[in-house]
């Protein structure tokens, strides 16, 4: 074994890939085999080391892709729509930020896929039950922000003109009291994949 050991290192005179054409010498054959053994793991290593960077490994903790838009002092981030649980309606969630000093409010929303978008609010009654209703406006304080989420303010996207599925995107046109109007592209995500609710999902609005 000791006599063969030096042969394990790549042989300077026979680089890998070179094929010997001379008479079959059992020792050179052994050398070629051992050379291949020694070189192959070295070649494999860079591939292994590079794998974590190049391979797209989905991490569950990663926030999904959501929509953003800005107009004047108002901006919208984290816009998404849960995949509809019923064929004709769903909800929409996002966060509105108001950089102006004066208070503002979201007063109207339209979408090409919806016959009617309503502004909704879910509140908790003194007895602890949650109660949903339509509101005239969703206030956004000056220098502050308002999060539309499951269990709070939200949009009800009613009368869907086409079936929506995860992977689609919906344009929402938001009109504010200040006069700002902005279009935000809200992706449709699986209900459990949404970012803006504590339980990681969307509530059922079929009771509206
Ligand atoms: Cu609602």
Cα separation, 174 vs 111, whole angstroms: 9
- For residue 201, the number of C-alpha atoms closer than 13 Å in the C-beta half-sphere is 8
Instruction: For the chain, list the domains and their CATH numbers.
Output: 5-54 (no CATH), 67-193 (2.60.40.1890)
CA 99 / ligand 1 centre spacing (Å): 27
How many whole angstroms separate alpha carbon 71 and alpha carbon 76? 9
Which of 121, 140, 118, 132 shows the shortest CA–CA distance to 208?
132
Q: Give the Cα separation of 104 and 96 in Å (integer).
A: 10
CA of 42 to the centre of ligand 1 (A): 60
Q: What is the DSSP letter of 43?
A: H
Tell me what percent of the chain is helix, strand and coil, each rounded to the nearest 5.
15, 40, 45
Per-residue model confidence as pLDDT tens digits over 156-186: 999 999 999 999 999 999 999 999 999 999 9
Q: How far is the CA of 84 from the centre of ligand 1 (A)?
A: 13
Residue with tokens 């026979």: 14
pLDDT, tens digit, 9 for 90 and up, residues 22-72: 445 555 554 544 444 444 444 444 444 444 455 555 555 667 899 999 999
Instruction: Find the 196 Cα to ligand 1 centroid distance in Å.
Output: 15
CA–centroid distance, 92 to ligand 1, in Å, is 10
- Residue of higher predicted confidence among 75 and 1: 75
**How far is residue 173's CA from residue 108's CA, in Å, rounded to a whole number?**
8
């Amino acid at each position: 074994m000791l006599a063969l050991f030096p042969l394990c290192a790549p042989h300077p005179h026979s680089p890998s890939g070179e094929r010997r054409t001379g008479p079959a010498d059992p020792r050179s054959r052994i050398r070629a085999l051992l050379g291949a053994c020694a070189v192959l793991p070295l070649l494999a290593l860079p591939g292994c080391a590079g794998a974590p960077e190049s391979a797209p490994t989905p991490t569950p903790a990663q926030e999904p892709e959501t929509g953003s838009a800005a107009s004047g002092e108002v901006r919208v981030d984290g816009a998404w729509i849960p995949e509809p649980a019923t064929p004709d309606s769903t909800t929409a969630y996002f966060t509105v930020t108001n950089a102006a000093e004066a208070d503002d409010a979201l007063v109207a929303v339209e979408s090409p896929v919806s016959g009617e978008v309503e502004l909704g609010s879910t509140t908790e009654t003194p007895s602890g039950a949650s109660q949903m209703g339509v509101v005239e406006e969703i206030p956004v304080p000056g220098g502050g922000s308002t999060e539309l989420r499951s269990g709070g303010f939200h949009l009800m996207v009613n009368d869907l003109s086409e079936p929506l599925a995860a992977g689609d995107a919906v344009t929402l046109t938001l009109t504010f009291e200040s006069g700002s109007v902005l279009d935000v592209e809200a992706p449709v995500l699986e209900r459990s994949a949404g970012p803006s609710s504590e339980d990681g999902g969307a509530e059922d609005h079929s009771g509206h």
